[in-house]
Amino acid sequence: MARRAKTTDLNSTVPAPAEPSIDGSDQFLRLMSHEMRTPLNGVIGMLGLLTRTRLDGAQRAYAEAAQSSAEHLLGLVNDLLDYARLEAGRLEFDPAPVEVEALVRGVAELLSPRAHDKGLEIVWSVSGDVSDIMADEGRLRQVLFNLAGNAVKFTDAGGVRIAVERIGGSRARPRLAFIVDDTGPGVPPEARERIFEEFGHVDASDATRFGGAGLGLAVVRRLAGAMGGTVVVTDRPRQDNSDMSTGSRFRFEAAFDAVAGAAPRPKPLTGITVAVRSPDPFVAKAATDQIVASGGEASDDAAIVLVDHAGAVKEFGPGAVAPLPASGRGVILLKPSERELIARYRAIGFNGYLIKPLRRASLAERVLAAVQAAEPVNDAAPRKAPAEDDRVVPVRFAGIRVLLAEDNPVGALLAKTLLRREGCVVETAATGTEAVAAMKRARYDMVFMDMRMPGMDGPAATRAIRAAGDKTPIVALTANAFAEDRKACLEAGMDDHLVKPLEPDALRAALTRWTNRDNRFKVAV
């Protein structure tokens, strides 16, 4: 489907004609974005490497404090640059097909390490009647990430829930609600407008206690208005009997064109009933919603039971395991850090596991496997075991040949160190011209290409490589988080993109995706 960029005046929700060129202020912001983020990314990345070395207690505390301060500064720079672009009054939108479920899942999984480190649960669900939509995926992701990231930041106990529901509209243009619930302190009524203003906080101490310039929600409101939508905050409706704090509910609503001809999501659990046992209301609610979205029903007396390991910890203490349900058919729910318990649960009879935050497709697959386990075995049709979750499976990349094109010495050292720790054989190039020459004289399994290099930049080098017929996977490395930069790398022929500073988990995920030929798929902007 053709992609069409449009420029929106942020003081109005009426689309304006597309601007044919980038003005001086936008060029300045792009330059400053790169020049400010690049050294900060180097500081954060090298401190990350330092904290993974052998340090004494004081040294580790100093390194972690420096890393936390640098990350706070990077977040501040990101907020200021984003807001400066919005304050300029015009912003490009690039509508394209968006798979809402994949978008929401991605945001939840990106935030899950931060949430789990705080002892929080983070969950997501998308109603079964929500179709794929036409939208600017980068802008929509930014709205959702800012709202959910804010919820994780301000919540000390309990969790965060991200949900998408259809609330009206027509088949061709549905109206959707993107909801972020948390169990944090809530927002008092008198502050509910102020927090969406520039540098706005619930109270003056928030800037000191939690960090941030108070621009994240101002950016959200501007983007929501540019998409013809609204964003509000209320108290979270009390729908459980737990001792959780009431917390907040942020709600972004907007109408979107549906993707013409998109197939409805499959409902593999039609006719199947599943029970959910979790001490966390958010986990129970999200699991139930995903069961229903897959065509199933949730019932406390179902034979197949999803059991949250957190319940065993809460009832019996650390080191305990949950008992197998009386029906003998159970699927255990674990955090990625609890992967070592998978073998123990299999040994006591559980049919499988699911990693939190739950994935709807994996949930349906595990439930169907549990159903089949109770059926007579048909030798003529052997059963295929569900695939292992990529978030817990150890992956080895020994011998994988990688070309790293990066002109910044600190960035090159960081990326090369992380790649070699994964077992990769790394060759480096400092310019796009060197990268093109290296691709002509040798074969690589994968290329990591910096977007901005002297002379021939990353996109130009990629176009030259593709023009020669080389289809080696190329992943862009960029210090910028602008949607335009993601679009530029994909249009040049790159397959994926990573935002600096490089994180080991993100790098490992890219290696897994692009060195496994069966799992390759080009990432959308």
CA distances for 310 relative to 56, 245, 313, 345, 362, angstroms: 32, 19, 5, 14, 19
Q: Could you tell me the two tokens for 522?
A: 């080009």
Contact residues for 490 (Cβ-Cβ < 8 A; gap 6+):
497, 522, 523, 524, 525
388-431 tens-digit pLDDT:
776 666 657 888 999 999 998 888 888 999 899 888 999 999 99
Do 423 and 416 form a contact (C-beta atoms < 8 A)? no
Residues in the chain: 525
Please name which of 244, 299, 241 lies closest in space to residue 275, comparing C-alpha atoms.
299
91-108 tens-digit pLDDT:
667 788 999 999 999 899
Do 115 and 160 form a contact (C-beta atoms < 8 A)? yes
What integer pLDDT is reported at residue 93 of this predicted model?
78
Furthest-apart CA atoms within the chain: distance in Å: 70
Helices (H), 260-350: 281-293, 309-316, 342-347
**Phi and psi (nearest 5°) for 371?**
-65, -45
What integer pLDDT is reported at residue 202 of this predicted model?
53
Q: Could you tell me the two tokens for 464?
A: 């030259």
Do 81 and 29 form a contact (C-beta atoms < 8 A)? yes
Residues lower than pLDDT 70 in the chain: 1-34, 85-92, 198-214, 239-245, 375-385, 390-395, 480-484, 516-525
**Phi and psi (nearest 5°) for 248?**
-115, 160
Predicted TM-score (pTM) of this structure? 0.74
State the Cα–Cα distance between residues 186 and 281, nearest whole angstrom.
18
What integer pLDDT is reported at residue 384 of this predicted model?
64
State the Cα–Cα distance between residues 306 and 320, nearest whole angstrom.
17
Instruction: Reduce the DSSP state of residue 494 to 3 states and report it.
Output: coil
State the Cα–Cα distance between residues 37 and 73, nearest whole angstrom.
10
Buried b (16+ CB within 10 A) or exposed e, 429-441: bbbbbbbbebbee
What DSSP assignment string belongs to 39-88?
HHHHHHHHHHHHHTS---HHHHHHHHHHHHHHHHHHHHHHHHHHHHHHHT
Cα dihedral angle (348, 350, 352, 357), rounded to 10 degrees?
-100
Helix-, strand-, coil-residue percentages of the chain, each rounded to 5: 40, 20, 40
State the Cα–Cα distance between residues 443 and 403, nearest whole angstrom.
9
State the Cα–Cα distance between residues 505 and 508, nearest whole angstrom.
5
Do 426 and 432 form a contact (C-beta atoms < 8 A)? no
CA distances for 29 relative to 77, 87, 352, angstroms: 11, 12, 50
Report, in angstroms and rounded to the nearest whole number, the Rg of the chain calculated over CA atoms. 24
Place of tokens 């001809």: 261
Contact residues for 381 (Cβ-Cβ < 8 A; gap 6+):
none
CA distances for 92 relative to 85, 173, 232, 469, angstroms: 10, 21, 24, 32
State the Cα–Cα distance between residues 248 and 264, nearest whole angstrom.
32
State the Cα–Cα distance between residues 66 and 178, nearest whole angstrom.
35
What integer pLDDT is reported at residue 28 of this predicted model?
67
End-to-end, the C-alpha distance of the chain in Å comes to 14
Residue 62 CB neighbour total at 10 angstroms = 13
